[in-house]
Amino acid sequence: MRYTILYGAMFLLSGAGLLAIMAAFGLSNTVQSTPAGTLPPGQQIARLQEQLADADAAHARQIFAGAVFALAVMLVVSLLLGRTVAGRVLRPLRTITAATRRITADNLHERLAVRGPADEVKALADTIDSLLERLEESFAAQRRFVADASHELRTPLATMRASIDVAMAKPGPVPPHTRILADRLHDSLDQVESLLEGLLVLARAQHGALDDRVTVSLAELAEQAVEARREEINSLHLYAETAAPADTAGNRVLLARMVGNVIDNAVRHNVAGGTIRLSTEPAGDRALLVVESDGPVLDPGQVSRLGRPFQRLGTARTGTGSGLGLSIVSAVAAAHGGTVSLAARPAGGLRVVIDLPAAAVAAVPA
């Protein structure tokens, strides 16, 4: 109703202005004086008729010129008025858009709280506030689930592991098949714990839990990850070009897990005698970590699937790991304002490029 009244008032003012300009032109004096002299009545009548025709023609030209002038003036006025009114009408929508963009997973408690009459804009803002409230409750429930799962699921696993250890530590000889079964159970428990830890890290990264931001050296994290896997890569030729410093800011634990997963993926899916090429480099306001590894030839069109949970390509990659490694990498990078690019190498293997904000940029709060 307010917009209808507003548009009607604008049309009324524009029409009144148009009529006023045309009336000013139409009321101007167009009567020409009759020259003095004595003429026969017939000639005077003919002269008067000629003057009246000229006056009508001049009046018509004035009205036409007035209409064109009034149209041009009111066009400019209408554009200015329309610009002003459109800005006033859309101001609540701009406020809603700006407020919605500011709200992230870390501040879902904020609300638009738009004030004004109960019109369509107010209804839209209230609907968005209701949606944010439901999202906040959902995120809180997921965080509680992650916290509870980390305790409830680890406890029975630890109990099972302790029971196996106690059974194997009993005095007396242990049958060979029992020892083989215990070893298999230990391996299965290790896989379950690794999967559980990966799910918890993935959930934490996806929920934006980035407390304790510090400046982190990607080169240092890469070197530590390589040293932690030194026994696994003793048969591989490793070229670590980490001379150029590349620092970012974020949660050190999550970033270390991200770098470790990339290198672990390069080691796990490599080939005997293969290579791993590792480099870090600053690129303006970005910090890059590039890991290239040998391995089986991958389908370039399917490589992007590796960034999703539980996705593997090819028989060589099936059955190894939990399928969460690169998905954790993508989630941690996204939580830090970065991206991960995956590309299949023509000779075989994978090229992973992690693009993160540099330390000076990443330290600025979003």
Answer whether 112's CB lies under 8 Å from 125's CB. Answer: yes
Greatest alpha-carbon span in the chain: 154
pLDDT in tens, 285-301: 889 999 988 888 887 77
CB atoms within 10 A of CB 29: 6
* Mean pLDDT across 92-117: 79
pLDDT at 318: 45
Q: Which residue has the higher pLDDT, 127 or 85?
A: 127
Cα 48 to its chain centre, rounded Å, is 80
Domain 213-362 has CATH 2.40.170.20: no
* 3-class DSSP state of 11: helix
* Mean pLDDT across 154-160: 84
Give me 196's structure tokens.
Answer: 């559980």
The CA-based dihedral angle spanning residues 190, 193, 195, 196, taken in that order and rounded to the nearest 10 degrees: 180
How many residues are there in the chain?
366
Average predicted confidence (pLDDT) for the chain: 78
pLDDT in tens, 34-76: 554 566 777 777 777 777 877 777 777 777 777 778 778 877 8
Question: If you average pLDDT over each of 89-93, 194-198, 255-259, 318-322, which comes out highest?
Answer: 255-259
C-alpha pair distances (Å), 268 with each of 10, 148, 187, 322, 326: 71, 31, 17, 12, 12
Weakest-pLDDT range from 56-60, 157-161, 324-328, 360-364: 360-364
pLDDT at 355: 92
How far is Cα 310 from Cα 200, in angstroms, rounded to an integer?
A: 14
Cα 17 to its chain centre, rounded Å, is 48
pLDDT at 211: 61
Residue-range domain boundaries for the chain: 2-30+46-102, 153-206, 213-362
Reported as a pLDDT band with limits 50, 70 and 90, residue 353 is very high
pLDDT at 200: 73
How far is Cα 81 from Cα 164, in angstroms, rounded to an integer?
A: 82
pLDDT at 354: 92
Question: Residues with Cβ < 8 Å from 226, sequence gap 6 or more?
Answer: 233, 238, 240, 263, 278
Sequence-ordered strand ranges (E) for 37-123: none
* Mean pLDDT across 316-329: 63
pTM check: above 0.85: no
Beta bridge partners of 340: 354
How far is Cα 344 from Cα 323, in angstroms, rounded to an integer?
A: 18
pLDDT at 314 over 60: no
**Among residues 276, 250, 260, 278, which one has the least CA distance to residue 338?**
250
